Amino acid sequence: MKKQVTVAFALLVGSMSFAQKSELKDAEKAIKKNNYAEAKSAINAAESLIGNADDKMKANFYFLKGQALYANGAGSDADMDAAIESLDMVAKVEGKDGKYADDVQEIKQKMLESFLTNANGALEKKNYVASSKGFEKAYRMSTKDTLYLYYAAATAVNGEDYDNALKHYEELKDLGYVGIDTEYVAVNKETGEEESFPSKSIMDISVKAGTHISPATKKSESKRGEIVKNIALIYMTRGDNEKAIAAMKDARKANPDDASLIISEANMQLKMGNKDEFKKLIEQALVSDPNNPELLFNLGIVSAEGGDAETAKKYYNKALQIKPDYTDVHNNMAVLILSQEQSIIEQMNALGSSAADNKKYDELKEKRSQLYAEAIPYLETTLKLRPTDLQAAKTLVNIYSALGETAKMKEMKLKVEALESGQ
């Protein structure tokens, strides 16, 4: 009785092996004919039996499965992910120098190029979620190229896919990614602006296609501060401020002299409404980088919002000494000066009709005119640097009118009308 069972079991194993070989042959034939649906069907039929196969047959199975799912680049997102896993299994089963090693590497290279081309194409169309998925797949294909994971995170943020962005940024942080790497850039012929590419191959494709010119390579800046900042900001959007602050403070502790991290935490504190903490951090950053006009500008904003106009002016003036064409500083300086007008108007409206009141009224009117005169150069510079600034133009119309500068008022009014009509 035992002998019969043993013979029956041996026959069963033999029939299973034969079935597997037959189905794998069918899959191979279908792949050669580019009939990937039929190939997948044959692979699915063999899948349940492959656990008992030897390593040679397993390697063959995973190799064919990877090709069937990849479908020469036409597979779905889910199939592509499964294809990568299957091709990785080939090396696990037969080793890195096995029978299929070269073929697997060739397929993976084609997949990588396909993922990068599709990701870049989606990025150009501003389809950020699709672009992020493509860059992530490229990274999974070539994990030594952590720049692809960074692009997956950045495009996920642009697509407001914050869950995946956080996952990618956390992985980058755990990997110790800094991002100081070779950057591939070329000039967009249509816009005239320099654009970055995730790889030399993608840059070369764009240049060859004629959409970009002047390809070049350069060293990128560290992205560590940006990564930590974005992790913190994503936590903030979720309402988890404690995790946001903890993420930033951990980064600061590990890199105490990194001014970009100080600025990132300061901006986060400002978004949370913690203006005192923001000011303290910006002042701390200013010690490390005293000639940074952006830091001075931010200190001016905080001082102005805190009611300290003189200190705000001091910071704004220093920022303009360093960067005379800083448009936002010119604009904010004008706003700061004109903010004092309301107090003067209230005093004028509270006066009576006595001789003393009339004298005081004239004094206040002159004081208001002086404010206008002080604000004009900043508004004119703002409009010169930012010609489409409708608000600056409208404010100048009102000021010129109040000062009796009719010719300038009429000229500026024409500009306002042109801006409003979109000319």
Residue 51 has pLDDT above 80, yes or no: no
DSSP H/E element including 150:
helix 146-158
Rounded Cα gap, residues 205 and 200, in angstroms: 9
DSSP H/E element including 188:
strand 182-188
- Is the entire prediction scored with pTM above 0.75? no
Report residue 15's pLDDT band, with 50, 70 and 90 as the boundaries: very low
Q: Domain limits of the chain? A: 2-99, 225-290, 341-421
For residues 78-100, give the mean pLDDT: 86
CATH placement of domain 225-290: 1.25.40.10
Q: What is the mean pLDDT of the chain?
A: 84
Rounded Cα gap, residues 20 and 171, in angstroms: 39
DSSP, res 52: G
Q: Which two tokens stand for residue 70?
A: 């990849």
Q: Which two tokens stand for residue 352?
A: 């009576």
Instruction: Indicate the residue type of 147.
Output: L
pLDDT tens figures, 378-416: 999 999 999 999 999 999 999 999 999 999 999 999 999
pLDDT tens figures, 97-154: 888 888 888 888 888 888 899 899 999 999 999 999 999 989 988 888 898 999 999 9
**What is the helix, strand, coil percentage profile of the chain, to 5?**
75, 5, 20
Rounded Cα gap, residues 305 and 282, in angstroms: 15
- Give percent of the chain with pLDDT exceeding 70: 93
Report residue 276's pLDDT band, with 50, 70 and 90 as the boundaries: confident
DSSP, res 51: G
Give the alpha-carbon dihedral of 105, 107, 112, 113, to 10 degrees.
120
Confirm whether 225-290 and 341-421 share one CATH topology: yes
CATH topology of domain 341-421: 1.25.40
Rounded Cα gap, residues 180 and 302, in angstroms: 33
Instruction: Indicate the residue type of 138.
Output: A
- Could you give the 3-state DSSP secondary structure of residue 215? strand
Can you give the three-state secondary structure of 356-382, one letter per residue?
A: HHHHHHHHHHHHHHHHHHHHHHHHHHH
pLDDT tens figures, 170-197: 999 889 888 877 788 899 988 888 888 8
